[in-house]
Structure 1
Amino acid sequence: MRAFINPTSRKLALAGAAAAAALLLSACGSGSGSDNDSTSGTDHGAKTSASATAAPSGSVSPGAFNDADVAFAQAMIPHHEQALAMAKLADGRAEDAGVKKIVADVEKAQDPEIRKMKSWLKGWGKPESAGQSGHGGAHGGHGMAGMMSEQDMKDLESLKGKAFDRKFAELMIAHHDGAVEMARAEQKDGRNETAKQLADEVVRTQSAEITELRKILGRL
């Protein structure tokens, strides 16, 4: 004689089995989730690697770039470095309040910009110096627009007071004109948006400083 099985008991048993199976699958799923995370990480790495043809991993300036972007950074780094050297000479020599303000503005803006551009070049897998990549040309050394000669720097260092202020204003106007020229070339020919934004900033700030320096010259 068959034992009578209560339909309700059968349903409960089936439900229990289903729950146990779900727990087992969940445990397995958790393990595979780790695999998926690993796979996802691998995929992400692959995407990063794929984008590295435009800008290698670690770049602070993501996205595509071209030769004009590289040339802009390689040229503007030494250009900014010389502006900082000129600004440093103002310590103990400058007298005019307007000149001192320009000096402070140059130091505040250009040192961080140098660090940015160096990080871009590192991220792009390019050397900091154009000469290192075999491309000297107009951007190499004193051939860059607005760069001072060693004699210019010595002359500036030998002056104090109003004579220093006048010479500093004259030289910095020429120096800024060169930076604006290079930045406009980047605006026109560059591809990387972050580099082009910095070029916009250089044009804006240094054009304004040129105007101020001309006013200073007018009153000295």
Structure 2
Amino acid sequence: MPAIHDTADPASLLEGVRAARTAIAAGRCIVMPTDTVYGIAADAFSHAAVAGLLYAKGRDRGFPPPVLVADRHMATALAERIPPEIEPLLEAHWPGPLTVIVRAQPSLTWDLGDTGGTVALRVPDHPIAIGLLRETGPLAVSSANLHGMPAPTEAAAAAEMLGDGVAVVLDAGTVGDAGAATQPGAQNGSTILDCSTDGVVRIVRQGVLPRETIAAALGELLVDG
């Protein structure tokens, strides 16, 4: 089993962040808290690390992980272009439970899987996640569960599912809001929008950010399907 660090204890938090940073630098995967669920994280620019993340979850290249960033500046460096139409949403929900798929900067030397030249970006609303991202840079992060299992809101559940597939677990207690995903088909993770086509935005996954909130900001830009 991986080493679990209780982030409520300052000494354990310091030790855990150091261990997480070391593991990521070595191409290993870790479990980290976000504002929605626990995530399995790896260096977004390490092909082997991203492959290890997918293997740990039981997924293949057809399920490329999103990339978490610490702030808008970091996101802008990874995107070819952030569509100006979604700026109001980003202003309101970054940090927060909103993931946007945009065209990736073509000069980047990474391999997240079969992305079709896109990248899914999010700024999580969790202080430990933000602090770690400021130290490591962009991380490929997917929910810390085996494929087909519920996304965990407790660190112990993530550690039990992923086992030796991760090196370090940062335990920040219960995360997310179990009652937040109330819309039909909604999940406890972030809401994912495909913004990679000019003038059109689609909801790829309905998460805790309601469709009504997105529709109010985007109007006719939001289309079904």
TM-score, structure 2 as length reference: 0.27
Larger Rg: 1
Larger % of helix: which? 1
TM-score, structure 1 as length reference: 0.27
Larger % of strand: which? 2
Larger RCO (alpha carbons 8 Å, 6+ apart): 2
